[in-house]
Chains A and B, each alone.
Chain A
Amino acid sequence: MTSQVDVMSKFQAEQDTRKARRIDRHTVSAIAVFVLCVVLILASRLVSPSLGSWQQVLTVLTLASFLVVLSFGQGLVILTGGLDLSLPAVITLGGVLTTTWIGNGPGAWYMLPFVLAICGGVGLASAIGIVWLKVPPFIMTMATSIIVSSAALGLTNGTPRGASPDVLLLLMKGSWLGIPAPVYFLVIFAVVGWIVQSRTVFGRYLYALGTNRDAARIAGVPITLVSVLPYVISAVCAGFVGMMLVGYANGATLRMGDNYMLPSIAAVVIGGSSILGGNGNFAGTVGGAILLTTVGTVIAAIGLEQGLRTIIEGGIILVALLLLREELFERLRGLSGKPRSGG
Chain B
Amino acid sequence: MQEPVSGPAVPVGAGEVALSIEAIRKAYGATVAVEKAAMTLMAGEVHALLGENGAGKSTLVKILSGVVRPDAGGMVLKGRPYAPTSISAARAEGVATAFQELSLLPNLSVAENLLLPRLPKGVAGMTSAAGTWQAGAEILARYGLDHIDPGAALESLPLADRQRVEIVRAFVNARHVLVLDEPTAALADTQWLFDHVRAATAKGMAVLYISHRLSEVRALCSRATVLRNGRSIATVELSAATDGDIFEMMVGRRGHAARRAATSTAATLNAPVVLSVSGMAGDTLKDVSFELRKGEILGIAALEGQGQRELFRTLAGLRQPASGTISVDGVAQALRGPSHALRVGGGIAYLPEERKTEGILSGLSAASNIVLPILPSVSKAGLVSGRNERAASEEHAQRVEMSQRYLSFPIGDLSGGNQQKALLARVMATGAQTLLLFDPTRGVDVGTKQSIYAAISNFAEQGGSVLFYSSELPEIVQLAHRCMVLYGGRIFSEFTGEDIDEQALVAALIGHGGAERRASAGVH
Contacts and interface: CB of A to CB of B under 8 A. Distances in A.
Contact of A9 (B28, B31, B359, B447): B447
Contacts of A19: 30-31
A207 B411 CA distance: 14
B256 A4 contact: yes
Contact of B373 (A200, A211, A220, A336): A220
Given A211-B362, A219-B372, 6 more contacts: A18-B33, A201-B384, A207-B368, A212-B362, A338-B28, A339-B28
Interface stretch (B163-171, B195-203, B289-297, B401-409): B401-409
A38 interface: no
A12 B252 contact: yes
Given A204-B384, A220-B430, A336 B338 contact: no
A212 B415 CA distance: 18
A305 interface: no
Most chain B CB atoms below 10 A, which of A7, A205, A335, A338: A338
Contacts of B55: 343
A178 interface: no
B362 A12 contact: no
Given A1-B256, A218-B350, A334 B410 contact: no
Most chain A CB atoms below 10 A, which of B100, B339, B350, B412: B339
Nearest to B258: A1
Contacts of A336: 28-29, 31
Contacts of A205: 375
A215 interface: yes
A201 B229 contact: no
B361 interface: yes
Nearest to B67: A339
Interface string A1-31: 1101111111111011111111100000000
Interface stretch (B56-64, B126-134, B144-152): B56-64
Contacts of A339: 28, 62, 68
A255 interface: no
B383 A195 contact: yes
B154 interface: no
Contact of B30 (A4, A12, A204, A334): A334
Contacts of B406: 20
Given A9-B401, A23-B408, A216 B33 contact: no
Chain A interface size range: 35 or more
A219 B432 CA distance: 12
Nearest to A195: B383
B228 to A, nearest CB: 8
Contacts, number: 189
A343 B379 contact: no
A105 interface: no
A17 B229 contact: yes
A342 interface: yes
B357 A342 contact: no
A222 interface: yes
Contact of A218 (B62, B358, B368): B358
Contacts of A21: 29, 31, 409-410, 413
B426 interface: yes
Interface string B346-376: 0001101000011111111100100011011
B302 interface: no
B60 to A, nearest CB: 8
Contact of A343 (B57, B255, B360, B363): B57
Interface residues of B, number: 76
Given A218-B316, A219-B373, A221-B372, A22 B408 contact: yes
Contacts of A342: 53-54, 58, 412-416, 418
Contact of A214 (B349, B357, B362, B454): B357
6 contacts: A200-B383, A201-B376, A212-B360, A219-B426, A341-B58, A342-B418
Contacts of B410: 21, 23
Nearest to B386: A199
Q: Which 7 A-B pairs have the closest CB atoms?
A: A336-B29, A335-B29, A220-B373, A211-B361, A343-B59, A343-B33, A220-B339
B338 A15 contact: no
Contacts of B342: 220
Interface string B230-255: 10000000000000000000011101
B415 A343 contact: yes
A200 B450 CA distance: 36
B34 interface: yes
Given A11-B251, A204-B375, A212-B360, A18 B229 contact: yes
A215 B358 contact: yes
B1 interface: no
Contact of A279 (B363, B375, B418): B363
Contacts of A258: none
Nearest to B230: A18
A342 to B, nearest CB: 4
A16 B229 contact: yes
Contact of A20 (B34, B375, B409): B409
Contacts of B415: 342-343
B347 to A, nearest CB: 9
B361 A9 contact: no
Nearest to B378: A201
A207 B410 CA distance: 13
Contacts of A2: 401, 454, 458
A10 B101 CA distance: 28
A217 interface: yes
B514 to A, nearest CB: 38
B318 interface: yes
A341 to B, nearest CB: 5
A22 B352 CA distance: 27
A202 interface: yes
